[in-house]
Amino acid sequence: MKTALTLSGSIRKGSYNRILQQHMGRKLTQAGVAVTEISLKDFDMPIFNEDLEPDHVPEAAVKLAEMWRSHDIVFIASPEYNGGVPPLLVNTITWLSRQKPSVFRHAVFGIGGVSSGKYGTIWSLSHLRDSLTKVGTLIVPTLLGIGPADTAFDDNGDPVEPGIIRKVDQMVTELTHFSRG
């Protein structure tokens, strides 16, 4: 059975990206994938600083790195802050990029995001894709930018727009098709 790890770049209460993370988890489960859903709240890491290496690498970075390596699929829901990737996600990826062996070359990744603007995180997803690709990550092509956030989901946490529903299905197909396991 294929395995997937899902996470969100927002840990705030009521996060729309958490809603997307949970929706993607349900869709992957329906596709026969064993899903592990995590919150970055449980992987606390200080702001990365090379002086912290090698003696003060957070245990959370070591643990999360192993989780990224051991799953077939990783799905990241990312908010957009000032047209870019939010600091929580940048810091997490920075710490993970320092763990050996690489955490980027095992799973197939899907990235998506929800934001209050009508362009729905397309700028942050572009930055995130660019950065992850540069360190060797295979990311499926579907652009899953969702916005405006406040009208994007119904009471069950499922997307309402037919175009978004189609894109989620497309990403699930890509993730299950391209992953090992």
The yes or no reply on residue 22 touching ligand FMN (CB under 6 A) is: no
* Residues from 106 through 125 that contact ligand FMN (CB under 6 A): 115-117
* Residues from 136 through 155 that contact ligand FMN (CB under 6 A): 147, 149
Question: Which H or E element spans position 129?
Answer: helix 122-134
The yes or no reply on residue 126 touching ligand FMN (CB under 6 A) is: no
- The Cα 61–Cα 96 span in angstroms is 6
**Token match 């956030």: residue?**
149
- The Cα 166–Cα 156 span in angstroms is 17
* Residues from 57 through 86 that contact ligand FMN (CB under 6 A): 79-83
Closest residue to bound ligand FMN by CB: 117
The count of C-alpha atoms lying within 13 angstroms of the C-alpha of 25, restricted to the half-sphere facing its C-beta, is: 18
Which token pair is 73? 């699929």
- The Cα 60–Cα 43 span in angstroms is 5
The yes or no reply on residue 17 touching ligand FMN (CB under 6 A) is: yes
- For 177, residues 6+ apart whose C-beta sits below 8 A from its C-beta are none
Nearest distance, CB of residue 45 and ligand FMN, angstroms: 19
Nearest distance, CB of residue 18 and ligand FMN, angstroms: 6
Closest CB to ligand FMN among residues 3, 22: 22
Residues at the contact surface with ligand FMN, assessed by CB under 6 A: 10, 12, 15-17, 79-83, 115-117, 147, 149
